Amino acid sequence: MKLHQYLLDAAQRWPSKVAIQELDGSSITYEDLDAQSSRLRDRLASIGVQPGDRVGFWLHKSADAVVTLFAILKAGAAYVPIDPTGPAARNNYILADCRVAAIVIEERFKPMLEVHGDEGWHPAILDIDEAGGRKWVGDALTHNVGAGTSLTVSPVGAHDLAFILYTSGSTGKPKGVQLTHENASSFIEWCARTFSLTSSDRFSSHAPFHFDLSVFDIFGSVKHGGTLLIISEEVGKQPYELAQLIADHRITVWYSAPSILSLMAQFGYLDTRDYSALRLVLFAGEVFPINHLKLLTTYWPHPQYFNLYGPTETNVCTYYQVPTPIPADQMEPVPIGRVCSHLEGILVQADGTEMSEATEGELCIHGPAVTRGYWNLPEQSQRCFVEVNGRRYYRTGDIVREEGDGNLVYLGRKDRMIKKRGFRVELGEIEVCLYRHPDIREAAVVALADDSVGMRVHAHIVSKQGKPLSLIDMKTFCSEHIPIYMIPDRFSFHSSLPKTSTDKIDYQTLKSWSRS
């Protein structure tokens, strides 16, 4: 299945239905979304974009950005979304790394763009005045491609590249995860079967378009003829405003990282509004602190809750439906569940061999949703796969345990395991301990090498009262839940913890804080 086929089908079936809605009240129908994206596709083809090319777009999150990504797909190219809130140096690195053939960019971002044209790279620049509101990309291009003009582009197949999402790399430079039409559509088809999505659904678009959660938002909505509510970067960080718009816009399907749901549960005044339309709450990207999840399900008892797990390289690969109400005495995070039906999973040992009677090991995934590898990084791409019994599995780097009921429990990252005093320590286990403390709102733990003691563990904490807690109390509390060798060596208290543009804890920034 080609991803833009979802739009072609929706435009035929629901031409006058609102496809995309923005918070200012502007909207675009499926018929117009199809027409606008086709017009922009023709414009891209006229400036040299060919099937197999990459095309970047540096736009604020908006209906225009959705028009643009569908235009790129229709041109047979792969879209490369740029984080409009990200550092200019990082964004320019991404555009140059994958040698985009063209860049669709807002005027306000052009001063940040650096295209040196080295090594024969000379991308076309297509700029628009402003993304969002009632100024659609297609209208801005009317003078470039006349009405009725349609340029012929070659068809693409399911195994052709659809988009590249850049994630943090271990070298300090972002790496581009390559996803094909089949990778994404196999996931969307699984979602259709699992969540019973319909044309009556109103989907949130909370995740930025450079984050893999957006794949479900955009294509899940379009496949079913739903309405997608675009939530801007600014509003996306505000728990009170988000809680208000979920009620006001009668959102039925919400999908985000747990961090923003945690904030809404604590500061959204969820008991003051009508959320009866909300039927699905999906979360992914990091562990949901169990106390915050309990609080959320108390305010919203009626939706179905799903914990969706998976790296960008596989999108969602396991899922768990959270039984509600959550028992008051449950202190462990909910499981990540079972492997999705369109994929296969195995647990492997450190040397990459499958565990014969696996109960704990690194989760590896095989199937149609798995990436082909990283852009222009053949050696790293090869290292992230392991062949077992003639099949190629992606190594997630996550250590999990299989419970007696068949559900998988996330134990932590392979690269967040350290040795301290000769003991193996999972930093995530310390974080789970800290979240049990009744006065802690947020907690994150990092470890740094120390010549005198080997590894020094540093806990960064946000308290509910907004002030430091007693260090004696913290160490005493930790000693009641984890071994002494796991107790953090240092505690720091902050008004908030740094987040990445995808609303995950920014551990790199925390490490720099720990060094200062």
DSSP states along 74-136: HTT-EEEE--TTS-HHHHHHHHHHTT-SEEEEEGGGGGG-----GGG---EEEEES--STT--
Q: Please give the structure tokens belonging to residue 70.
A: 């569908």
Helix (H, G, I), strand (E, B) or coil at 423: strand
Pairing of strands 124-128, 175-180: unpaired
At 174 the pLDDT is 85
Q: Average the pLDDT over 143-165 and give the result.
A: 70
H helix or E strand, kind and range, residue 37:
helix 30-46
Q: Average the pLDDT over 62-89 and give the result.
A: 94
Residue 162 reports pLDDT greater than 80: yes
At 21 the pLDDT is 97
CB 334 within 8 A of CB 290: yes
Distance from the first to the final alpha carbon of the chain: 51
Question: Nearest to residue 12, comparing CAs of 27, 37, 34?
Answer: 34
Return phi, psi of residue 142, to 5°.
-55, -40
Question: Nearest to residue 270, comparing CAs of 299, 228, 248?
Answer: 299
At 146 the pLDDT is 43
At 147 the pLDDT is 42
CB 76 within 8 A of CB 153: yes
Residue 110 reports pLDDT greater than 80: yes
Helix (H, G, I), strand (E, B) or coil at 188: helix
H helix or E strand, kind and range, residue 427:
helix 427-435
> Which of 118-127, 162-171, 494-503 has the lowest average pLDDT?
162-171
CA distance 348 to 310: 17
Q: Please give the structure tokens belonging to residue 494.
A: 């902050």
Q: Please give the structure tokens belonging to residue 504.
A: 């995950």
At 358 the pLDDT is 60
Q: Please give the structure tokens belonging to residue 198.
A: 């319909």
CA distance 319 to 393: 18
Q: Which domains does the chain have, with CATH numbers?
A: 3-233 (3.40.50.12780), 342-412 (2.30.38.10), 421-515 (3.30.300.30)
The reported pTM is 0.86
Q: How many CA atoms lie within 13 A of 246 on its CB side?
A: 33
CB 295 within 8 A of CB 265: yes
Number of C-beta neighbours around residue 455 at 10 A: 14
The pLDDT tens digits of the residues spanning 368-388 come to 999 999 999 999 999 999 999
Using pLDDT thresholds of 50, 70 and 90, give the confidence band for residue 142.
low
CA distance 159 to 234: 36
CB 434 within 8 A of CB 495: no
The pLDDT tens digits of the residues spanning 175-205 come to 999 999 999 999 999 999 999 999 999 999 9
Q: Which amino acid is at 4?
A: H
Handedness of CA 105, 106, 109, 111 (dihedral sign): positive
Q: What is the DSSP letter of 337?
A: B
Residue 112 reports pLDDT greater than 70: yes
Return phi, psi of residue 504, to 5°.
-100, 160
The pLDDT tens digits of the residues spanning 223-277 come to 999 999 999 988 998 999 999 999 999 999 999 989 899 999 999 999 999 999 9
Q: Please give the structure tokens belonging to residue 136.
A: 């659609």
Distance of CA 124 to the CA centre of its chain: 29
SS3 percent helix, strand, coil of the chain, rounded to 5, is: 30, 30, 40
CA distance 350 to 373: 21
Q: Average the pLDDT over 491-515 and give the result.
A: 91
CB within 8 Å of 266: residues ≥ 6 apart: 239, 292, 295, 441
Distances (CA, A) of 224 to 12, 30, 201, 318, 430: 12, 11, 8, 22, 42
Distances (CA, A) of 17 to 138, 202, 253, 512: 19, 12, 18, 49
